Chain A
Amino acid sequence: MDYTNLRRQIISMKKSLFDQGYLDEQFNQLEELQDDSSPNFVDEVVALFFKDSSRLLTNIEQALEKYPQDFYRLDSLVYQFKGSGSSIGALRMKNECSMFKAHCNDRDLEGYRTLDDSSSIPASHSLLEQLHLIPWLTQMPPVTPEDKEGACHSEAEAGDIFSCKHKHQIKGPVST
């Protein structure tokens, strides 16, 4: 299996997350903290972030559905969400949370009545799901000559790994 193409795609995706402002340098800080003594650190923190954020999103959604709205609770939940995102470098999500909090302060949540796809916080959050792929960069074995021989896709005809119809056995990173 030739991982070159997959590796390239993940690197490109990661660069795009930075270029579009979804990630900031805090994410680099996480990568710097990963080493031989803690080889899955980034993956573990990202996993904890999603565990935390799914809980918070559920609570936020429930709080939004209540009438009259408990702005205090909403503010507190979004504050936690923002803090969590900030720790992993989720810049865009952090900013969306700040805007949401400003609306809470103004007691005006018309734009955020329901958390459907068009709302910004879940949108900027779900894009971060791509973060699960980044730790694979360190987990993938180096490209060997044997890999090139048995390659499913040659570099020339390399297609999108996600739409490949062959079942590739890819050993992913360990998540907590």
Chain B
Amino acid sequence: MAVVATETPFHVLAVDDSLPDRKLIERLLKTSSFQVTTVDSGSKALQFLGIHDDDASTVSVHAHQLDVAVNLIITDYCMPGMTGYDLLKKIKESSSLRDIPVVIMSSENIPSRINRCLEEGADEFFLKPVRLSDMSKLKPHILKSRCRDHYQQEQQHQQSDSNSNDCSNPTNKSSSDSTGKRKAEDNGEILPQKNRPRHS
């Protein structure tokens, strides 16, 4: 019996404190076949991602950790409290989240701001209002990060094979796999060989 791999949509977490903007980015993402979760602040984003401010730098082990893989985070820059830049930093400091691509949105075209974000590890910067045409720039970043994961997995798989003879199931890898996606792997969702890249 042939098993057809069902293509799971990529999941994007969108962060914006503005009500109409959240509606707009949600619609843009859904129209582009993404699964979307929206939150209105950086701290809620971190909560959703399963880490808390105080232990962002450690691998968190919480019972309610990320149950659904997040493939990309898109956030507004100017938000009260935690800015998009602050959120970006926290994500990059987290060993479990740093490989998730992050896109920053801003209504202001300030080159020093843009550079600062890119230097901190943001993958892309969108000027608001965000348009449908911007959505096509997201998938390449997701696929790039998955390729990186796959390569890292292969490396580790080869190493553990040569170290011990057991064919360890990659889904049971130790925390050296540093993305927030590990939990979802048990469903075969993430393993690249079973999951063909989505075509837009």
Binding site for B on A (CB under 8 A): 26, 29-30, 32-33, 35, 37-38, 41, 44-45, 48-49, 51-52, 79-80, 82-84, 86-89
Contacts and interface: CB of A to CB of B under 8 A. Distances in A.
B107 interface: yes
Interface stretch (B18-26, B96-104, B157-165): B18-26
Interface of B: 18-21, 23-24, 27-28, 30-31, 78, 107, 128-129, 131-132
Nearest to A35: B31
A87 B131 contact: no
Contact of A33 (B21, B28, B78, B107): B28
What's the dominant secondary structure at chain A's contact region? helix
A88 B27 CA distance: 13
A52 B132 contact: no
Contact of A26 (B19, B23, B30, B129): B129
A33 B23 CA distance: 11
A52 B78 contact: no
Given A48-B23, A84-B20, A32 B78 contact: no
Contact of A45 (B23, B30, B31, B78): B23
A84 B78 contact: no
Nearest to A89: B129
A41 B27 contact: yes
A79 B78 contact: yes
B132 A86 contact: no
Contacts of B107: 82-83, 86
A89 to B, nearest CB: 8
Contacts of A87: 18, 20-21, 24, 128-129
Closest 7 CB pairs of A and B: A48-B20, A49-B20, A48-B19, A87-B129, A83-B107, A52-B19, A33-B27
Given A45-B24, A79-B78, A52 B18 contact: yes
A11 B155 CA distance: 62
Given A83-B128, A87-B128, A52 B27 contact: no
A86 B23 contact: no
A32 B132 contact: yes
A86 B129 contact: yes
A54 B133 CA distance: 31
A41 B30 CA distance: 12
Nearest to A38: B27
A51 B19 CA distance: 9
A23 to B, nearest CB: 13
